[in-house]
Amino acid sequence: MVGWLSGWQYRKKHDINGSSAGAVSNYQMRVKVHYGEGADSGEDVYLGSGIYNVESGSWNIGGNTYNYRLKITIAEKAGQNLTDYQVKVVINTKQLVDKGYATSSGNEVRFADDQDNLLNFWRENAFDQEETVYWVKVPSIPASSEVVIYMYFDPDLTDVPDASDGDATFILFDDFSTKDTSKWNWPSDWTVESGYAKQTYSGGWPPSGGMWSLGDLNVSISDSVGVIIETYAKNLGTASAYDMVIGWDNDTDRPPASNVSVALGSYDHWHEWGTSTANTDFGEPDERSWHKYQVILFDGDWRLIIDGTQYSAHAGSITKLAAVSFNSKGQSYWDWIRVRKYVDPEPEAKPETAEKCKSDFADIRFTAGDGVTLLDYWMEEKVDGDYAIFWVKVPSIPADPDKATIYIYYGNPDAVYDGDGEQVFELFDDFEGAELDTTKWNTHLGTGGSVSVSSGQLVMQEGSGGADASTWTTVYSKQSFDDVAVRARIKFTAMENILLRMGAADEQFYVFRLDGRSGYYDLIGKYPAGATITTELVTGSASPTNTWYKHEARAYGSQLRLYKDDAEELSTADSDFTSGWIGVTTDGTSGTVYVDWILVRKYVEPEPSHGAWYAEEGLVAIIELSDVVVSCDAIGRGVGVSRLDGVKGVDVLVRGVSLVEVELVKVAEVVEVSSMLVFSGIVQTPLGDPYPNAKVLAIDEETWEIVGETTSGVDGSWSMVLPGGRRYTFVAVGAELSVGADAKAHVKY
């Protein structure tokens, strides 16, 4: 009977196909676990987290009836009471379209508060994308609090017009689809062309005739709430004349840009009414390409940000934003402009998602085929919310064509990472601590060489080494191996070698080299006894230095393989050396090698392979049954039953003697067959004492077959995992009574 790992919500069953090389034990298998959705295949398994919890129903929003909505929680993080704040909301709208929740255009999308009041919004980019950016104007966000809004969509609302409206959302907005004379002064050298505001200016510097906004924007700027001016623009001037100015004003009695501005290009500087900083190279990208420019006015500082990177800051005294202006030298294009409120940090909008596993993968566990025996594992790498790579030690994998079965569990918010490379691999070191572990490693120092451990890395420094291995700086294992794979995360300033089947520290081994030196290359070679130079067996291309690699060397019989970043680069055959130590060495004059971690795993050819992944099983309920009483007859035999209120009872007959009444357990019909239930209870004697070693049986009421069996513990407790969608009778049998496979002989109406 397959059990369930206590505390975990989900699992998937996985087959591991045996190898034609024969059965293996304690073999390390790699599994790549993905946070989101996808098709399980090979080593890749997808857990379906991060998928939106789309709510179904019927809501009248803005005169349209919507069948779907998504809850979005907005958290205020700056400790300020915010009003009419433009909040950035990023949505995977492709997911909504692919799952049939929304139209492909997204024109029907609306935002509303939790009282169904419509909210103004603007969509920055296209719909049906993995990241569609919305800006939603939220009327009120209390300090350090959360508010809830909803995004509404429906695939049947194909004729609903788009409600995206930048004018209603921002303090100032223009996408320059038309020449709006109510917003700007439009000098003669400014036009609208193909959805852009275009300026053509060929005069000297500073340019004159800039375009500025009309009226008074009247936005206060303080140390609590500021403002941000954002635009998307480029300049097509020559290399010596491609300057742009973004200006603003806090006094409408003067033209904007005469008050405060930032100039970009060959005249980089901040400018404030009558004064200017010394021209300083901001180091910003070439203005002749499209860039997103942001000028933040907040808390006495002005900041220049381009494409998300801050390039400059300046202390200023502006307390109000009255107008915005643009100017340039040469020919410039401005795609859009928006002005909005700003705090630091800004509010965070989080759509509600199904978090089946923790985003840091700390709740991943692996068990044997019984569903409960934990397997040793280690996490090689991870990207939170994306993927993690695990190595799992599988106790036994039979030879092909047979299979082993394991389970992957996930969905425990209280779980912490519990992996241990020491328990998984034949040899493992991640170089924690301040010194090399001399219970695992020996060292051989070349002339002027050194070995140290620092910041979780092994650091190997070559002195005046050369081709002769006696001059190399080498770290090698005290343990000997034959058919293995050695895998390490390594960086080098010149080159590095993984050594296999070493017979001595300075001779008789195979060399698996990554080399970045000029005129050199990666190779597999051998270093026979008495040699002074490596014999090349097969060569490849060079590997750039100062780059982290996953370097793996494999040896099985006479077959030798070199892998770099999980791709096979070189292979050859040689049978001179059959076993020995493994090691890492420098072999490069004045070169340094950094090793983040190194592992040795078992290796056969062909390796056991990943077979089928089965459908996700979800633990939808934990049913705690009331005490199960065991009634004993004269010879100490007995039978007990579980009891659940409100369910029909029947008699249990054991060898023709009616002992106790049985209560039937009905599983809710909403439970899917693929879902699993945990039943648990306690077996007691009529006097209330624990009854250990009782046989607890689960009986399918439709077939009257025993479908589950377990034994009560020393305290009488028991638990059992069964699929949903069935009716069960649970029977506790005294330890002395033998029960056959067919329950009809022992339990009947």
Q: List, in order, residues 6 or more apart from 249 with CB less than 8 Å away.
A: 212, 255, 256, 257, 258, 259, 260, 321, 322, 323, 324, 325
Query: Which among 560, 566, 573 has a CA at the least distance from the CA of 512?
Result: 560
- Same domain as 290, residue 182: yes
Is residue 558 within 8 A of residue 575, CB to CB? The reply is yes
Q: Where does residue 101 fall: left (phi above 0), alpha (psi -120 to 50 degrees), or beta otherwise?
A: alpha
- pLDDT value, residue 277: 62
- Same domain as 223, residue 191: yes
- pLDDT value, residue 620: 52
Give the up-direction half-sphere exposure of residue 68: CA atoms within 13 A in the CB hemisphere: 18
- pLDDT value, residue 438: 97
Helix (H) or strand (E) holding 167: helix 166-169
- Same domain as 494, residue 415: no
Helix (H) or strand (E) holding 94: helix 93-98
- Same domain as 676, residue 597: no
- Same domain as 503, residue 574: yes
Q: Which of 309, 342, 375 is the last residue of a domain?
A: 342
Query: Which among 723, 740, 676 has a CA at the least distance from the CA of 11?
Result: 676
- pLDDT value, residue 682: 76
Six-digit token string for 396 = 């036994």
Six-digit token string for 283 = 């180091």
Residue 572 inside a domain? The answer is yes
Domain containing 109 equals 52-169
Total count of domains within the chain: 5
- Rounded Cα gap, residues 653 and 656, in angstroms: 5
We report the CATH number of the domain holding residue 695 as 2.60.40
- Same domain as 671, residue 529: no
Six-digit token string for 691 = 């009854």
Residue 430 inside a domain? The answer is no
Residue 433 inside a domain? The answer is no
Is residue 460 within 8 A of residue 492, CB to CB? The reply is no
- Rounded Cα gap, residues 102 and 99, in angstroms: 8
Residue 431 inside a domain? The answer is no
Give the up-direction half-sphere exposure of residue 180: CA atoms within 13 A in the CB hemisphere: 17
- Same domain as 180, residue 310: yes
Burial 486-515 (b: 16+ CB within 10 A, else e): bbbbbbbbbbbbbbbbbeebbbbbbbbbbb
Helix/strand/coil (H/E/C) assignment for every residue in 397-461? ECCCCCEEEEEEEECCCCCCCCCCHHHHCCEEECCCCCCCCCCCEEEECCCCCEEEEECCEEEEE
- Same domain as 29, residue 59: no
Residue 447 inside a domain? The answer is no
Q: Which of 169, 187, 213 is the last residue of a domain?
A: 169
Q: Is the pTM of this model over 0.75?
A: no
- Same domain as 466, residue 560: yes
Residue 740: strand pairing partners: none
Is residue 40 within 8 A of residue 613, CB to CB? The reply is yes
Q: List, in order, residues 6 or more apart from 439 with CB less than 8 Å away.
A: 478
- Same domain as 514, residue 495: yes
- Same domain as 250, residue 156: no
Residue 438 inside a domain? The answer is no
Six-digit token string for 356 = 């089946």
Q: Residue 712 in 3-state DSSP? A: coil
- Same domain as 132, residue 212: no
- pLDDT value, residue 513: 97
pLDDT profile of the chain (749 residues), mean per 10:
85 97 98 95 96 95 97 97 98 96 98 97 96 98 98 98 98 96 91 92 67 87 91 77 72 58 77 65 82 90 90 82 85 93 96 93 97 97 96 98 98 96 98 96 89 96 78 94 97 94 89 94 94 93 96 98 98 96 84 96 98 86 44 35 33 30 32 57 69 78 81 83 73 53 31
Six-digit token string for 201 = 């200016």
Position 547, amino acid: T
Six-digit token string for 248 = 């603003």
Residue 76 inside a domain? The answer is yes
We report the CATH number of the domain holding residue 474 as 2.60.120.560
Q: Which of 314, 342, 370 is the last residue of a domain?
A: 342
- pLDDT value, residue 733: 67
Residue 1 inside a domain? The answer is no
Residue 306: strand pairing partners: 293, 309
